[in-house]
Structure 1
Amino acid sequence: MKYKGLLCFMILLTYYQGEAQTRAKGLEEKVQQLTDMTAKRSIISLNVNKFKDYVRSPPRDYSFIVMFTAMAPSRRCAICQHVYDEFMIVANSFRFSPSYNNKLFFGMVDFDEGSDIFQMLRLNTAPVIMHFPAKGKPKPADSMDFERAGIHAEAISKWIQDRTDVQIRIFRPPNYSGAVAFLMLFVLVAGFLYLRRNNLEFLYNKQMWAVAAVFFCFAMVSGQMWNQIRGPPFFHRSKNGPVYINGGSHGQFVLESYIVAILNAAVVVGMILMIEAAGGVKSAEPVRSAAEGKRRRFQSVVGLVLVCVFFSLLLSVFRAKTQGYPYSF
């Protein structure tokens, strides 16, 4: 009896040992296959079979970041392409970073190629970025909230770090369009100055330089330099419609910077109108007619209205980005 029990124990031990070896071998093969596919392309294109084998089925000791999208032009998903570009930047940054390992992989499911996967996960919108952890099922926090976090690569990287503790430093591909445009502008200006080398009095025009300086200030104050560095989207499309103002104080959209520049310009124009009207009244030269006085009063009123209205709008934009700001105008 004792020998029978010992024999059963040895059989069970041998069975579980073989099962563990089989699982370990299967896991090693899956990781190797995923590593080979990642070496060819940072984002693995997943169909139904690949999704079940690599993302849902055990054994698995790695995390999977999957983007669900609809890239076909017939789907009319304008934001899908932009989110895919940012997602690709994150995947490439991780693939070529020193911290790259086989514990994190990136995948993509297109609706036209994996509609069954959308139905399986009960997804009815796109794009969606989900984290499939190494153990357990995805939780609500494993779906990225674009409206709250944003859609640029830095936001995706931060969200991945929160879910997987894997830090990804974003490396954007070099963009030489700005340098080429600056070089072309320099050549045009140099050619214009050369053609008018005998008539350069316009360079001493104070008004021209003042206008150029003011426009430069508008561009810098509105955040154009930040746009060139970070490359944010033009605007954001949400379930409730387009969003033109980024809700966070650490981000902005390109259209938002244009709006801020226009508001600042309107405030400055109003200030100039009031200053010019007041300067004309206080000057040594008397007002020649009642019409001239009415024109200056009208000019001062218009300037005051511009300052009040557009400064209030500018403050509203600031309050929208800085939650809890107590003052308004």
Structure 2
Amino acid sequence: MRFLTLLAPLFALLPIGLAAHAEHWSALASKARDGVIKLDSESYEDILALDREYSVSVVLTALPAQFKCQPCHDFDPSFHQVAASWKRQPRHIRDKHFFAKLDFQDGQAIYQQLGLTSAPTVMFHPALAGPNRNNKLSVVTYELNRNGLTAPPLHSWLNNLTPAHFSFYKPVNPLHYIGIPIAVIAMGVSLFSLRKLLVPLVQSRIVWGTASIILILTFTSGHMWNKIKNAPYVAAGPNGKISWIAGGYQNQLGLESQVVGGIYGLLAFSIIALSVFIPNQSSPVKQRIGVYLWLAMLIVVFSLLIKLFRMKNGGYPFALLF
């Protein structure tokens, strides 16, 4: 009985010691910009003391250049972003969970102890004492291979483990709010200064007619079908030869659509030449020669178009010159 009386002051000091232990990590987390505590082998063992009343998320990484760990560099901003989101919590909640980082260079003994051969690795260590203790929960490892290296999946995973739920915070980049208005103003000033050059172009029938024809040829040649179906540019034909025409009307290749677009373009230009350019010729001889040439061009190109249809489908019954 007397022995217990002598030990009573020691038991009274135990909670104070635990509180001081948590205060130490709380101070380090508060000083860190993102709330991530940098560890070494000794502090790793210390922060994971068996009497801890807080939980810890630790990332074991290898950031120095000599380790050539690209996933470590890709994942490090994500871990810091989630840690910064937790740091926005009130202090009485924030001090129940800490984010820490142990680099291979500073904790090779811990890597050997855990048997780790790859990085990065994220482990959640639950509280082992106090009101946040959960007897059913043990150390949980984050599955990076399945969840990836981005921050949102890591936040979703930790949000179900931390003592309190917390929102994912993504800092606002003020450059967008500054750069976009400046760019719009600069563009407006540039357009206004070039108005004498741009206004005639906008009002030009030739410009609008050319743009309309290009758009029409693009859509009628099957370009959008290629984008939607992700059609290959060419395909392997018989005997290993390259084929640029797909058999049947339900299939098409990228080069094929370009050839069809070019043929449609020649046909359109032939009609424009016959209806616009030829009548503007003052000489009857030039008009007659122009009509013969462009009519010949129209017939030959149209014959090539029909020939292409016959190549796609041997059952096509029509032909002109070829």
Q: Which runs of 5+ in 1 are unaligned?
A: 1-6, 213-261, 303-329
SS in 1 for 2:298: coil
Question: Which residue does the alignment assign to 2:238?
Answer: none
Question: Which residue does the alignment assign to 1:83?
Answer: 75
Could you report, residue by residue, the CA deviation over 1:177-234 in whole angstroms, capped at 9, with x for unpaired residues?
A: 444553454244324312321122333555769999xxxxxxxxxxxxxxxxxxxxxx
- Aligned pair in 2 of structure 1 residues 134, 301: CA closer, same or farther (>3 Å)? farther
Measured in 1, the distance between the counterparts of 2:189 and 2:302 equals 44
| Counterpart check, 1:31 vs 2:29 | no
Measured in 1, the distance between the counterparts of 2:184 and 2:144 equals 40
The counterpart of 2:108, out of the listed 108, 115, 122, is: 115
Measured in 2, the distance between the counterparts of 1:300 and 1:103 equals 76
Question: Which residue does the alignment assign to 1:101?
Answer: 94
Question: Which residue does the alignment assign to 1:229?
Answer: none
Letter aligned with residue 16 of structure 2 = K
Residue 155 of structure 1: how far off its partner (Å):
1.2
Residue 295 of structure 1: how far off its partner (Å):
4.8
Q: Which runs of 5+ in 2 are unaligned?
A: 129-134, 216-225, 232-252, 272-294, 313-322
Letter aligned with residue 195 of structure 1 = S
Question: Which residue does the alignment assign to 1:289?
Answer: 299
Measured in 1, the distance between the counterparts of 2:85 and 2:13 equals 34
**Percent identity among equivalent residues?**
20
Residue 58 of structure 1: how far off its partner (Å):
2.1
Could you report, residue by residue, the CA deviation over 1:24-81 in whole angstroms, capped at 9, with x for unpaired residues?
A: 22211111111111110100011111111111x2211111001111111222222322
Equivalent pair of 1:71/1:81 in contact (CA under 8 Å): yes
- Aligned pair in 2 of structure 1 residues 209, 278: CA closer, same or farther (>3 Å)? closer
Measured in 2, the distance between the counterparts of 1:97 and 1:113 equals 29
Matches of residues 136-151 of structure 1 in structure 2 within 5 Å? 139=138, 142-151=140-149
Residue 115 of structure 1: how far off its partner (Å):
1.2
The alignment yields a C-alpha RMSD, in angstroms, of: 4.2
Q: Calculate the TM-score normalised by the size of structure 2.
A: 0.61
- Aligned pair in 2 of structure 1 residues 123, 190: CA closer, same or farther (>3 Å)? same
Letter aligned with residue 26 of structure 1 = G
Question: Which residue does the alignment assign to 2:119?
Answer: 126
Letter aligned with residue 59 of structure 2 = M
Question: Which residue does the alignment assign to 1:169?
Answer: 167
SS in 2 for 1:105: strand
Letter aligned with residue 165 of structure 2 = Q
Letter aligned with residue 153 of structure 1 = A
Equivalent pair of 2:263/2:301 in contact (CA under 8 Å): no
Equivalent pair of 2:123/2:141 in contact (CA under 8 Å): yes
- Aligned pair in 2 of structure 1 residues 101, 185: CA closer, same or farther (>3 Å)? closer
Letter aligned with residue 80 of structure 1 = C
- Aligned pair in 2 of structure 1 residues 291, 36: CA closer, same or farther (>3 Å)? same
Equivalent pair of 1:278/1:300 in contact (CA under 8 Å): no
Measured in 2, the distance between the counterparts of 1:33 and 1:92 equals 19
| Counterpart check, 1:152 vs 2:162 | no
Question: Which residue does the alignment assign to 1:73?
Answer: 65
Could you report, residue by residue, the CA deviation over 1:235-286 in whole angstroms, capped at 9, with x for unpaired residues?
A: xxxxxxxxxxxxxxxxxxxxxxxxxxx955967x969869968988999x69
